[in-house]
Amino acid sequence: MALSLSPFTLLVFLFCFTTSLLLCNGFPVHPHHHHPRFAKQNYRDALTKSILFFEGQRSGRLPPNQRITWRRNSGLSDGSAMHVDLVGGYYDAGDNVKFGFPMAFTTTMLSWSVIEFGGLMKGELQNAREAIRWATDYLLKATAHPDTIYVQVGDANKDHSCWERPEDMDTPRTVVKVDKNSPGSDVAGETAAALAAASLVFRRSDPTYSKLLVRRAIRVFQFADKYRGAYSNGLKKFVCPFYCSYSGYQDELLWGAAWLHKATKNPTYLNYIQVNGQTLGAAEYDNTFGWDNKHVGARILLSKAFLVQKVQSLHDYKGHADNFICSLIPGAPFSSTQYTPGGLLFKMSDSNMQYVTSTSFLLLTYAKYLTSAHSVVNCGGTTVTPKRLRTIAKKQVDYLLGDNPLKMSYMVGYGRRYPQRIHHRGSSLPSVSVHPAKIQCSSGFSFMKSQSPNPNVLVGAIVGGPDEHDRFPDERSDYEQSEPATYINAPLVGSLAYLAHSFGQL
């Protein structure tokens, strides 16, 4: 069929053809931009939702501007068993226990997301700050007494034998602490890191609060370093197997010192890192970054001081960070990372998505440091550019958001198809507004076992994700694949801000 164009269409066509710098929609073309103009994914929408999720995990008295409205106040007497105020903070995942170790790591990663990419977040920056502050207000309460940290509220075994809303909790709110007699350098080091990182977030917007956070971080780190030991040694029956410290406490001491170095600029911490780095495992070949093992994160963070601030004594951390990067590059020498057939980074079957989000964040952050230092990664003769790191990170985030064999978004409430039966008590039980009467401990299990979609959509929650063959059954009982967690979301916040900005969505 011959193509007939009206004079008007012809004019428009000619105009667009001849105006090389303008697209038909009136946007200038940037030929040197890192990315194409249009992305398959709406990173801005995903960013908004990734932060909103934290409101669904809040414990304590909810504020008037609470946006996830099916949640209500909960845990209002937390801490009373030990005559301390431990109201607030976050439930870590789909249960009603407050675990201090992953909560502190979540706080550090949310803060790092804002430190690196907060300048790109526009209207979401304030929401991100509020998510951080909900955690730091709690961590300040948990560290109010010198040489003591309250590291858990709730008895996990008893909590897990019930399926009930946080608003209905009647299982023991056991309070667990570390102190001089039962130390926990891992949980204390991570708490110090969280407070120090958050102090940087509030430095301009709330200098008084920022100073309070950094002073507390210094004190908590001194406790972590002086009374050394893994917290799961003394608290095994409370914290294992849930958040046992498998990697030891050395990584948290290095990580805590790295954040205090960044937050205070006090040479004491640089000296501490120089003297203790090797014994704390700086050069170990462990390439899993998450709530338990911080070595890789510390390497990336300290490499910035060398690459950007030119602190020559931290030269080795660039090499250590490069080793981690080389382990991820498919086909490169020293590559040791498994990917699913659909291209998802795969570390382990239980909550694998946490490693996807944390690794993607490290890739984008390291790419930022390398770019500002005009540097690259060398993997046994293969040169890896910052652009390549960004491409790998984007592919992981895109997979998470729906660019995968199942065409399934692993973020609840994002995209056309997402998990309907997540392993989460509050989401799976009718809300207090719909069902004001208490739902008893064991009667909740009928909802848990039902095949119906969850009545309350926990918007922004990222689940554990598919298996090594890209399969995802969407079953509520399958906590390994279907349970969301705060530490899955926290690193993704920074990556989404970067990608939304890159594609002109913010």
Residue 241: asked if its preceding bond is cis (omega within 30°), the reply is: yes
CB 39 within 8 A of CB 448: no
pLDDT given for residue 381 in this prediction = 87
pLDDT given for residue 7 in this prediction = 44
CB 320 within 8 A of CB 283: yes
Locate the DSSP E strands across 294-430: 338-339, 345-346, 377-379, 382-384
pLDDT given for residue 17 in this prediction = 41
Closest Cα to residue 150, out of 91, 215, 93, 85? Answer: 85
- 28-37 long-range contacts, CB within 8 A, separation 24+: 34/387, 34/390, 34/502, 35/394, 35/502, 35/503, 37/503, 37/504
How far is Cα 29 from Cα 289, in angstroms, rounded to an integer? Answer: 38
Q: How many CB atoms lie within 10 A of CB 439?
A: 20
pLDDT given for residue 332 in this prediction = 84
Q: Which residues are catalytic?
A: 95, 423, 474, 483
Per-10-residue mean pLDDT, the chain, length 506: 44 41 38 59 98 98 98 98 96 98 98 98 97 98 98 97 96 97 98 99 98 98 98 96 95 98 97 95 88 97 96 94 94 90 96 98 98 95 95 98 98 98 98 96 95 98 98 97 98 98 93
To the question of pTM greater than 0.85 for the whole model, the response is yes
